[in-house]
Structure 1
Amino acid sequence: MTNSNKADVLIIGAGQAGGEVASSLRQQGFEGSITLLGDEAYLPYRRPPLSKTFLSGEATLESLLIKTQAVYEKNRIDCQLGIGVETLDRAAHEVRLYDGTSIAYGKLVLATGGRPRRLSLPGADHPNVHYVRTIDDILRLKAQFTEGKRLAIIGGGYIGLEAAAVGIKKGLNVTVIEAMPRVLARVAAPEVSTFYERVHRARGVDVRTGVGVHALEGDALVDAVVLADGTRIATDVVIVGIGLIPNTELAESSGLEISNGIVVDLQTRTSDPDIYAVGDCTQHRNAFYDNSMRLESVPNAMEQARVAAAAILGKPAEYSAVPWFWSDQYDLKLQMVGLSQGYDQLAVRGDMNGESFAVFYLRDGVVISADAVNRPQEFMVAKKLVADRAKIDAAQLTDESVVLKTLLQPAA
C-alpha cells in the first residue's frame, strides 16, 4: 500500500534551478502548494564553490546553502530531501518515489540537472577516483586532499583547472591531463588557453595536453595514470572532469521529447503543457540567439527558473538571456559572456603577459562574446556590448585610451 499526496506545483530537483522556481513562485504571488523533491540530503545549495572555496576549506557547508530551512517553512515550500523519483505517470499527473510513496501534481517542473561523465576504464571506480558535482563528492575528496599528495586531474576544463588551483594552494603535487591540444579548447580562444596553461605551469602544475588516458594502474587504489603515449604518472588522488551528462531518463521514460536534454520552448514548457523543465538538463530555445542550446551555468538555470515560474502563473515571458559564466583560479577571476563559436576576429584589450586583460570575440565586426580576467568593470560593459550586438572597430576595443563604456549604444 502506498501513501499519496498532492502538490499544485511539484519540482523534481532541489538544486539552484529547482529552488529558484519555488522561491520565484512565491515572490510572484503564487498561493498554491509547492513541493520540492531532491535526491541529495541537502537544501538547495550553490555548486560553483564546490571546486573552489569548499574544496579549499574556506567555505563551510552552511555557507553553501541558498536559504535556510526556516525560510522554506515560512514560504510554505515543502522540501522532501534524500529521495529520488522512480517513475513519472503523465496521464495520472503523478510521480512515484523510490520509497514507494507517490505524489500527484497540477504542474510539474523538472530541474533534474546532470551528472559527471564517468571515465570508462578499469579502476575508475576505485575509492581514490573522484568527481566534482555534489557536496558529498567534495567531502569524500577532502579526506584525501592533503599536502604532499600527488594529484592527477583528467580534464582541462574549468572544473579541472579550478581543482588544480586549489590543489596547488593546499600543497599537493598536481598534474593536469587534457586530451585536446589545449586546455579550455571547447570554450576559449587559443590565446586564452595559452594564458591559462602558462599561469598554471608558473604556479607548479604539470600540464599535459594533446594526450589521452590509456589506463589506470593499481589494485585497491589507483597508483598511476598511464597516458596514451606510454607515460606513467604516479598518483595518490585522481579527479575526473570530462563533462556533464544531462539527467533526462525520467523525462524520456515518460515520453517527453529529448534531444541532448529535455526539449523546452521559450517559456520552458516541455512537449507536455503541464510539465516544465529548467537548468542543465534542458535543450532550450533562446530568443536572443533564436536557436536551441543546452547550457551548463548558474545564470542560465536561475533565469530559466524565473521564466518557468512566470509561465506557471499565466504571465509568460520569453527566455532571451545572454549566457554568462565565471571561473576563479588562484587570484584570477575569469568572467565570460556570450558564445564565441564562429568568431572571425579577436581583439585583446590589455597585456596577456600580465594578469588583467579582456578578449573580445567578433564576427563580421559584431561583438559576440568576451572573456575578462580581473577586469570586472569592463566585463559589465562587455555584457552590454554583446547584448546590444554592438558593431565596433576592433582597434577601438584594443585601445585602452578609449573608455570602454563610451562604445555603448545610446539608450533608445
Structure 2
Amino acid sequence: MTTRGTMVIVGAGLAGASAAEALRAEGFAGRIVLIGEEPELPYDRPPLSKGYLSGETPRAQVHLQDSAFYADHDIELLTGTRITDLDRNGGQLVVDTGERLGFDRLLLATGAVPRRLPVPGGDLAGVHYLRTLADADALRQDLRPGGHLVVVGAGWIGAEIAASARQQGMEVTVLDPAPVPLARVLGPEVGEFYRRLHAGHGVQLLMRTGVEAFRGTGRVQEVLTSDGRRIDAHAVVVGIGVQPRTELAERAGLIVDDGVVVDELLRTGDPRIFAAGDIARARHSFYDQHVRVEHWATARDQGVAAARGMLGRGASYDALPYFFSDQYDTGMEYRGRATRWDRVVFRGDPDSREFLAFWLQDGRVLAGMNVNVWNAGDDVEALLRSRAQVDPDRLADPRVPLAEVSPPPLPTGGGANKTGVLSGPLKFVRQFLRDRFTVADATPADELAVGEGRVLDVAGEKVAVYKDPAGNLHGLSPVCTHARCLVQWSAADTAWNCPCHGARFSPTGQVLRGPAKKDLAPRPLPAIDRHDTSTP
C-alpha cells in the first residue's frame, strides 16, 4: 500500500471530495491536494435543483464538509484554482498562475458542463443553465411567485426545476421535442406517469416542441417555439444534458472517447492517473463494456474506489448505476441500466403514486425503479444481478415476493463476479454502503460518552441516542426522513448521517443537509435516560 508521496485531485466536486476523505480514512499519511475551480467548499449538487433552489436548504447545508474538516484532516483545499495543463512526463500539473504542482498519483474528477442551446438570444440575461452554486444563486433571484418560467428540456434537471418553481408559486411551461418527459431514460410508459404528475400540478407541457429563439431587449422576454408560438417568459432555464470536461485529459494525450477511458480499477492508460465521476468511462465487469454514468451515487462511490486504487488497493468497480429524484411529493430510485428494452412491467398502480417499474429485454430485467416505495431496493438489485428470466405476470403481482419471480442465479464459475456489487475479494463499495447502516447495540444509554451518539436497542426498539456536553440524553428515530434508511453516527461530523442519499442531521435531529426535508422524530427514553429533544 502507498502511504507516502503526493496525491493530487483535480476537481472538488463529490467524486474529488469523496476521494480525499477516503485517502485519509484508508490511512494515507502523505500530502493530499484537492483543487477546485469554484470559490466554494466542496458541495452536493442534487440540492441545487431541489431544496436549495426553493430556499428550504440553507447554503451551509449544501457543503459536504465545513472548512475545519479539511484543515483537521490535513487536506490542502485549493478553491478558485484552475489547472491549465498536465505534464505527464514531468509528473506535474500547471496552475493558471504558472505554478507547477508535482504528483505521485493523480485523480481527474473534473465533472461536466451543461450543453448549450445554439439559438438566437441564448446570451440574453435571464437565460439560465444550472450546474454550480453560482448558477443556482442567479436562478433563485429570478424565481418569483406569479412570474412565468420556461424550462427547455424535460429531463431530470428540467423536471426537478419545474417542480421547484411550481411549488414556489410560479407559472411554468416545459418544452421538449420528446413525446413525454424523461423519454430517453424511462420511455413512453413511465414518462407518461411524469407527464401526468407535472400536469396535475399545473405545469404546461409542450411536448414535441423545440425552441427557435429567445427574444427580448437586454433580457429574455419571450420564447419562440419551433411551431411558431410565442411564450412570455420572466426567466428561462435550459436543461438539455451535460458533456464531460475532458480537455485536460485530451491535452495530456490520455484516451478520451465519450469521457476519459479507464479500466475497472478506474486507471487511465497512465498507471499514475485515475479518473472518477462524470468524466470517467469505466470498464464495467457486470456489463462487460465501458460505461459512463452522470449520477450522484456514481461520483461518490467512484471517488472512494479511485482512492483505494491510488493506494494500490484497487478492486474491480461494478456497482450498478443508481440515481434518485424528488419531484413534488413523489420520490423515486432507479437502479440498473436500460438503453433499449422490449417491455415495461408495472408492479402496483401508477395512479396511486406508489409502485415499481421494470424494464425488460428478452425476459430479463435490465433496470428497476421504485416510486414512493422504500423497502424494495435490495430485492431490485438482486433481481438485476441474477440475470435470470422472469415471469412478467409474477413480476407485476405485488403478492409475489420479488425474490420469487425468478429462479436463484446459477454459479458464475471463474472470471468476473456477476452477483456482488464489486468483483474482487473486498467488494468494498458494498461494504462502504452497508457498513454505514448502524446496527443497534445493547449498551445502556447512560453509558455513552459525552458527545457520543449511537443507535441503541431501547426496550426492543432501535433509537438514535446522543449524549450532549451537559450529559443530557436525546432520543431520536434512527430512520432518515427522506427514504427511510437507518442513519449512523459520525464522530468526525458530530452528526447523524444517512448512508443512502447523504442526508445529515444534527445530534438532536435537525436537518443539516438534504435531500431530507424533515427532522428526525423524537423518541422517548426510559426515565433514567430521558431528555426532552423537542424544540420550542
TM-score (norm 2): 0.74
| Aligned residue type for 1:149 | G
CA-CA distance at 1:233 after TM superposition:
0.7
Instruction: Report if the CA contact (8 A) 2:320-2:336 is conserved.
Output: yes
Partner of 2:27: 29
Instruction: Report if the CA contact (8 A) 2:122-2:213 is conserved.
Output: no
- Whether 2:333 is the aligned partner of 1:324: answer no
Moved more, 24-33 or 340-349: 340-349
Partner of 1:106: 104
| Aligned residue type for 1:345 | R
SS of 2:34's equivalent in the other structure is strand
CA-CA distance at 1:406 after TM superposition:
4.7
Render the CA deviation track for 1:326-372: whole Å, top value 9, x for unaligned.
Answer: 11100000211111222222211111222111111122222111121
Q: Any residues of structure 2 matched to 1:94-173 within 5 Å, and which? A: 94-173=92-171
SS of 1:250's equivalent in the other structure is helix
Q: Any residues of structure 2 matched to 1:169-188 within 5 Å, and which? A: 169-188=167-186
Q: 1:315 aligns with which of 313, 316, 319?
A: 313
| Aligned residue type for 2:327 | Q
Render the CA deviation track for 1:80-129: whole Å, top value 9, x for unaligned.
Answer: 10111111111111111112222111111100000011111222122201
Q: 1:349 aligns with which of 347, 350, 355?
A: 347
CA-CA distance at 1:165 after TM superposition:
0.4
- Whether 2:17 is the aligned partner of 1:19: answer yes
Moved more, 296-305 or 104-113: 296-305
Instruction: Report if the CA contact (8 A) 1:7-1:104 is conserved.
Output: no
Q: Distance in 2 between matches of 1:74 and 1:226?
A: 53
Partner of 1:237: 235
Q: Distance in 2 between matches of 1:53 and 1:90?
A: 41
Partner of 1:294: 292
Q: Distance in 1 between matches of 2:199 and 2:90?
A: 57
Partner of 1:398: 396
Partner of 2:64: 66
SS of 2:158's equivalent in the other structure is helix
Q: Distance in 2 between matches of 1:386 and 1:185?
A: 22
SS of 2:40's equivalent in the other structure is coil
Q: CA RMSD in A?
A: 1.6
CA-CA distance at 1:383 after TM superposition:
2.0
CA-CA distance at 1:16 after TM superposition:
0.2
Partner of 2:371: 373
Q: Distance in 1 between matches of 2:41 and 2:108?
A: 17
Unaligned runs of 5+ in 2: 412-536
Distance 1:213 1:321, change over 3 A: same
Q: 1:249 aligns with which of 247, 250, 275?
A: 247
Q: Name which one, 1 or 2, has greater alpha-carbon Rg.
A: 2
Instruction: Report if the CA contact (8 A) 1:7-1:35 is conserved.
Output: no
* Number of residue-to-residue matches in the alignment: 407
Q: Distance in 2 between matches of 1:324 and 1:165?
A: 21
CA-CA distance at 1:405 after TM superposition:
4.4
SS of 2:151's equivalent in the other structure is strand
Partner of 1:91: 89
CA-CA distance at 1:306 after TM superposition:
1.8
Partner of 2:205: 207
Moved more, 23-32 or 224-233: 23-32
CA-CA distance at 1:181 after TM superposition:
2.3
| Aligned residue type for 1:391 | Q
CA-CA distance at 1:189 after TM superposition:
2.5
Unaligned runs of 5+ in 1: 1-5
Moved more, 387-396 or 357-366: 387-396
Q: 1:278 aligns with which of 260, 273, 276?
A: 276
User: After the TM superposition, which parts of structure 1 deviate over 4 Å for at least 4 consecutive aligned residues?
Assistant: 405-412
Instruction: Report if the CA contact (8 A) 1:7-1:103 is conserved.
Output: no
Instruction: Report if the CA contact (8 A) 1:12-1:111 is conserved.
Output: yes
SS of 2:351's equivalent in the other structure is coil
1 or 2 for the larger relative contact order (CA 8 Å, sep ≥6)? 1
SS of 1:311's equivalent in the other structure is helix
Q: Distance in 2 between matches of 1:54 and 1:291?
A: 36
Q: Distance in 2 between matches of 1:201 and 1:16?
A: 33
